[in-house]
Each structure stands twice: as structure tokens, then as C-alpha cells.
């Protein structure tokens, strides 16, 4: 059983078996990820790319093997297309400040969507402040789907970049990013895809998508916190200036000038999160062995089951009812505030998130302060969905 | 009684259902907006102060049961009190709600003591304290308030 490989799931909370439905915030990690991290610290602990001694060599090899595993997972043409980052947040900021900043002027436009996480909004607002560029937003409809009939006219001759989320963390909407990328490319606009919530659930093929950049967060794809990768097309990475300055990203330093190292080292200043990168590589191997299409199929089974089960809770209003959806359920229940629900069902062992989920504009659209969000992963079960439903009924009973 | 039932005890549920002094009053002399950015709770406190006395205390906003009940209890508790007395009570309230102690009640806080059970739920303490910080800010003429730290 896959589920048994996740020690974090084998716990009790308030004396009840943990029902972990907060996977969109962070997933649980399989034993082999934990083992890979421990193995590095126990047997290969050394800095990478910096020593001729054996430990440094084996640490470097493990780190670079992890990059190769991630390249295979994303189907990148080469592991040199991948930059290790702390997560999606850093991936977006890196692209904003290196790639986009050097090609944008006052009055130019950057296009994002209404479904973005704050981490794909604020870096662009900062860039707009720095350059006088203007942020434009692809609107959404009442189901929480992007209004793609408006995309063509939003891609103007002033648009310099588009950055869109693949799967919404708040509503679960799966955006047709391949089509959106093709439309942007027709107008010569490069595209970054925020894959934080897509990679844990869907097969991702960056060559098939033809995206210019794709970024993922390790901790959402069963890997360590503080890890992630940014994919970039080779010609972009070559042309981009470095992000941070420091050790590792140079090939020669004098007080007069510095020659930068080759890609991807150019973007990886300082000692990285070595254990994190190695753990993330183990997560990528785990996902490939499990099979991304098996994971996606199981997700959809759970989504259909949970959609039906939740629809039977009286007074429950679902927020976000897209046709193409990941197993993420945002909802409110008449007469009970989300935080009260969160606290009450925690006592039944059920972990969900409550609030605005770092997507305040989405909730502004719906006129809500926030929601309860149950987000599932392939290791969740139908029985756990039943426990969620029972716990919601219990919360309702308390408030009646 | 389980901790959960202590948290959502009758008093809290009843005040949540029938909040006292709820809604924007026709007039006021002092106002402040309390925002808890992490969970999005928003409370407005409206005061009518004359001759250093809290003649009327109202609140509005949408928030969880703990926050609603705390605000409702606060308005009942504070109405008619002198500002100076209220400020002393506020100090006591902060002591009561300090998660670093086990105090379950403090003399002089009356029914407010019922909120001390929230300390068992650290992530919810701010729900209970936000309106008090907003009221203290309103008295000081500060338009926006958050809970400390
Ligand atoms: C859609 C989406 N994008 C970006 C992020 C940011 O990821 P991280 O916090 O790992 O940098 C998240 C995480 O919540 C997310 O759900």
C-alpha cells in the first residue's frame, strides 16, 4: 500500500486517526524522502562542488543526480534547464527580476490571472513599481474558471510576459495552460507556469507545454520544505543575468570584475539546501515509480467521491465548481464560520485549512472572507472523506 | 466536558447567535477597525464617550463564533464604565488571555472569564482578543488595530 510509505499519516490527533486533508498547504513525505535526507547527513555530509575529498564528491553526485531525476519528471531536455530554488515563490521572483526586468519598460504589460496565489501576484507588483509596467489580469467566472475568450484581447502589443497558475490552490481549477501558452506565443509573449499544485497531481511535460519557465515547490510534491526547481528554456537561462551574487555562481572573481559560472550554477549562489535537493530528487523518483498517470487517476476517483459526499452536507456551499478540477474543495457552511469548523473538526482528527489560502483576490470576487479548504492527495481514502463529512455534520450539530 | 465543548460553551454559542450591541450605530465619537491579517477576521468597534464614560459600545463585522462572542460580551461588560476603569480591565483581560499562564479567571472580569478556555487553542486566541485591541485603539484615537505580535 502506498499510504503506508508515509509515516506522517500514521498518527493520531486528539486521540483520533489523523485525516490529513491539507495537502495543498504542504503534503506528507514518503519514507524514502526522509531516508534520502538522513543518508546525506549521515554518510555524505559535505559541501558540494567545492572539494576534492570523497564526501564532497559523493554529495555533489547525489545533488546532481537529484537534478537529473527532476529533469526526467518534468521531461526537461536537460538537467541544465533546472535551477534549484527554495520553492515556487523564489522561482517566480527569480524570473521577474532577471528575465522580465531586463526586457520591460514603463507602460509595458504583464499578464497574470485572477486565480493566482499571492506569490504569483506580489513579485509582479514589485516589478511594476520598479519599472512603471502595468499588471493585467485574466478574469474568471462564477465557477472559478478563467475566461479564456478574453485572453486574446488581453495579449496586446504591450504585453511582455504572462505568468499563470497551472492548478489553483484555492479552488482546484485546472487551467488549460498548453492552449494559453500557444496563444501567448502567437503574440510573441513568453510564459511562466506556476506548477505548485499541478506537479503533485498531474503528469507535467515542459516540452509538450512549450512553456518558457515552469516552477514547482518541493514540499507540495512529497519532498522537503525549502526545496523546489525552476525550469527555464536554455536560450533564456543563457541570456539572463544572475539573481543573487555569491559563491558558486562565479568562475572567476577579481576586485575589478567577475566572470559568471555556466547555467545553472549562475543562478545558484551560495551553499544550497543540499539535503533538500537530494530529498526532492527522491520525491521525484517516488512519483515516477508510482506513476504520474496512476496518481492523476486516483486523484480523480477521490475528487468524484468527495464531490458527491460533500454535496450531501446540508447548507454546504462549494466555492469553485470548475469542470476540470483537482481534488481541492473550498466551501462554507451556512451559519458557521470557517475557523470554527476548522477547530471543531480538528478534534475529530481532520486537518483542513481555513481562511483565504493566500488568494485574497479570489475571495474578493466571491464576496467572501475565506473558506474551509479540504485538499486531497492520492494517499487519502474514501473512508477519510466519510470522516470529513461526519465531522462537518458534528460541527453543524454543535451550532444548532 | 471536553475542551471543545468548553470552548463552544452555551454562553459563547448564545452570544454568537444573538450578538449584543451588534451593528453600526447611528452615531459615535470613536471608531477603530481591527484586522487579523492571518485569518482575515475584521471587527469594527464604535464608541460614544462623554465625560470620560463609555456611554455606548457597538461592534460590527463578520468573524468566527469566538470573535463574535468575545465582542458581544465586551460590549455588555464595558458599557457605562469609565475609560480609566476600562483600561485597567483591559490589562487584566490581557493577563487572563496570556497563554503563558494557567489563569482561568481573574476577579473583576465577571463573565469575560468564560473566554479563558480559548487558551487551550493557541491558534484561536487572537479571535478572542482582536475586538479588545480594536476598542483600546478606538479609545486612543487610532483608526486601525491588530492584536499584539
Ligand atoms: C499555486 C501556488 N503557487 C505558489 C505557491 C507558493 O509556494 P511556496 O510557498 O512553496 O514558495 C503555493 C503555495 O501555497 C501555491 O499553492
Q: Which residues pair with A138 in a beta bridge?
A: A113
Choice among A4-8, A271-275, B47-51, B141-145 with the minimum mean pLDDT: B141-145
Report the domain count for chain B. 1
CATH code: domain A32-289 is: 3.40.640.10
Average pLDDT over residues B17-22: 94
Taking the C-alpha atoms of residue A278 and residue A281, their distance in angstroms, rounded to an integer, is: 5
Name the E strands within chain A: 12-13, 16-17, 19-20, 82-85, 109-113, 134-138, 159-165, 191-194, 213-217, 228-232, 250-253, 258-260, 316-319, 328-333, 350-351, 353-355, 371-375
Kindly report the average pLDDT of chain A as a whole number. 96
Asked whether residue A353 carries a pLDDT value surpassing 50, the answer given is: yes
What is the per-residue pLDDT across A325-346, written as a single tens digit (0 to 9) for each? 999 999 999 999 999 999 999 9
Q: What is the pLDDT of residue A369?
A: 86
Q: Quick check: A261 pLDDT over 70?
A: yes
Q: Which fold has domain A9-24+292-398?
A: 3.90.1150
| CB distance A365 to A37 below 8 Å | no
Question: How many pairs of residues across A and B have Cβ atoms under 8 Å apart?
Answer: 46
- Residue ID of nearest Cα to ligand 1 atom 12: A196
Beta strands, E only, A64-152: 82-85, 109-113, 134-138
- CATH 3.90.1150.10 domain locations along chain A: 9-24+292-398
Whether B27 is covered by a domain: the verdict is yes
Q: Which domain holds residue B116?
A: 3-140
Asked if B65's CB is within 8 angstroms of A398's CB, the reply is: no
Which of the listed residues A217, A221, A229, A362 should we mutate to test ligand 1's pocket, taking the one with most ligand atoms within 8 A of CB? A217
Return the closest-CA partner of residue B128 out of B96, B105, B102.
B96
What residues of chain B lie within 8 A of the CB of A356, using their CB? 40
Q: Is the pLDDT of residue B48 over 50?
A: yes
Write down the pLDDT at residue B149. Answer: 46
Mean pLDDT, rounded, for A24-50 = 96
pLDDT of residue A73: 98
Indicate whether this complex's ipTM tops 0.95.
Answer: no
Helix (H) or strand (E) holding B145: strand B144-145
E-state strands within B6-131: 30-36, 41-50, 53-62
- A309 three-state secondary structure: helix
Element (H, E) at A395: helix A382-399
For residue B148, being part of any structural domain is answered with no
The reply to whether B23 falls in a domain is: yes
Distance between Cα A180 and ligand 1 center (Å): 21
CATH number at residue B54: 3.90.1010.10
pLDDT of res. A317: 97
Nearest Cα residue to A73 out of A298, A282, A325, A376: A282
Which residues lie closer than 8 Å to B118 by C-beta, 6 or more apart? B7, B66, B97, B124, B125, B127, B128
Is there a domain that residue B147 lies in? no
Distance between Cα A171 and ligand 1 center (Å): 14
* Residue A342 dihedral angles phi and psi, to the nearest 5°: -55, -45
In a domain, B149, yes or no: no
Residues of each domain in chain A carrying CATH 3.40.640.10 = 32-289
Amino acid at each position: 500500500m502506498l499510504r503506508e510509505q508515509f509515516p506522517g499519516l500514521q498518527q493520531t490527533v486528539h486521540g483520533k486517526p489523523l485525516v490529513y486533508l491539507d495537502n495543498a498547504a504542504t503534503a506528507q513525505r514518503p519514507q524514502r524522502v526522509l531516508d534520502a535526507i538522513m543518508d546525506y547527513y549521515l554518510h555524505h555530509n559535505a559541501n558540494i562542488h567545492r572539494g576534492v575529498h570523497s564526501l564532497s564528491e559523493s554529495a555533489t553526485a547525489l545533488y546532481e543526480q537529484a537534478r537529473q531525476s527532476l529533469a526526467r519528471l518534468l521531461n526537461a531536455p536537460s538537467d541544465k534547464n533546472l535551477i534549484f530554488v527554495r520553492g515556487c515563490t523564489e522561482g517566480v521572483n527569480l524570473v521577474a527580476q532577471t528575465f522580465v526586468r531586463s526586457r520591460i519598460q514603463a507602460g509595458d504589460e504583464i499578464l497574470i490571472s485572477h486565480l493566482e496565489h499571492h506569490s504569483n501576484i506580489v513579485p509582479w507588483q514589485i516589478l511594476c513599481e520598479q519599472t512603471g509596467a502595468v499588471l493585467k489580469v485574466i478574469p474568471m467566472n462564477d465557477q472559478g474558471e478563467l475566461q479564456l475568450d478574453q485572453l486574446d484581447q488581453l495579449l496586446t502589443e504591450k504585453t511582455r510576459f504572462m505568468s499563470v497558475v497551472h492548478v489553483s490552490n484555492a479552488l482546484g481549477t485546472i487551467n488549460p495552460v498548453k492552449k494559453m501558452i500557444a496563444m501567448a506565443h502567437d503574440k510573441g509573449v513568453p510564459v511562466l507556469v506556476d506548477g505548485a499544485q499541478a506537479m503533485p497531481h498531474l503528469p507535467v511535460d515542459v516540452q509538450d507545454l512549450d512553456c518558457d519557465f515552469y516552477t514547482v515547490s518541493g514540499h507540495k510534491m512529497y519532498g522537503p520544505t525549502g526545496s523546489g526547481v525552476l525550469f527555464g528554456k536554455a536560450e533564456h537561462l543563457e541570456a539572463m543575468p544572475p539573481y543573487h551574487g555569491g559563491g558558486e555562481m562565479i568562475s572567476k572573481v577579481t576586485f575589478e570584475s567577475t566572470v559568471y559560472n555556466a547555467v545553472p550554477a549562475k543562478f545558484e549562489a551560495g551553499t544550497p539546501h543540499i539535503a533538500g535537493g537530494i530529498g526532492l530528487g527522491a520525491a521525484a523518483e517516488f512519483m515516477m515509480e508510482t506513476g504520474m498517470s496512476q496518481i492523476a487517476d486516483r486523484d480523480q476517483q477521490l475528487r468524484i467521491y468527495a464531490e458527491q459526499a460533500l454535496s450531501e452536507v446540508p447548507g454546504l456551499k462549494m466555492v469553485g465548481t470548475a469542470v476540470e478540477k483537482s481534488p481541492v474543495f473550498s466551501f462554507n457552511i451556512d451559519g458557521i464560520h470557517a475557523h470554527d469548523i476548522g477547530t471543531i473538526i480538528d478534534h475529530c482528527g481532520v486537518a483542513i485549512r481555513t481562511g483565504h489560502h493566500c488568494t485574497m483576490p479570489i475571495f474578493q470576487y466571491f464576496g467572501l472572507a475565506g473558506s474551509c479548504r479540504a485538499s486531497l492527495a492520492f494517499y487519502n481514502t474514501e473512508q477519510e472523506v466519510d470522516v470529513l463529512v461526519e465531522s462537518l455534520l458534528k460541527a453543524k450539530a454543535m451550532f444548532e | 466536558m471536553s475542551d471543545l465543548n468548553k470552548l463552544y460553551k452555551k454562553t459563547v454559542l448564545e452570544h454568537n447567535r444573538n450578538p449584543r450591541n451588534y451593528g453600526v450605530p447611528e452615531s459615535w465619537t470613536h471608531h477603530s477597525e481591527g484586522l487579523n491579517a492571518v485569518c482575515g477576521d475584521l471587527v469594527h468597534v464604535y464608541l460614544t464617550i462623554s465625560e470620560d464614560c463609555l456611554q455606548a459600545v457597538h461592534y460590527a463585522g463578520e468573524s468566527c463564533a469566538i470573535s463574535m462572542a468575545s465582542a458581544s460580551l465586551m460590549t455588555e461588560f464595558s458599557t457605562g464604565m469609565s475609560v480609566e476603569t476600562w483600561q485597567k480591565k483591559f490589562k487584566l483581560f490581557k493577563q487572563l488571555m496570556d497563554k503563558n499562564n494557567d489563569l482561568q479567571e481573574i476577579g473583576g472580569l465577571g463573565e469575560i472569564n468564560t473566554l479563558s478556555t480559548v487558551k487551550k487553542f493557541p491558534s484561536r486566541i487572537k479571535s478572542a482578543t482582536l475586538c479588545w485591541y480594536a476598542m483600546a485603539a478606538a479609545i486612543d484615537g487610532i483608526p486601525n488595530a491588530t492584536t499584539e505580535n
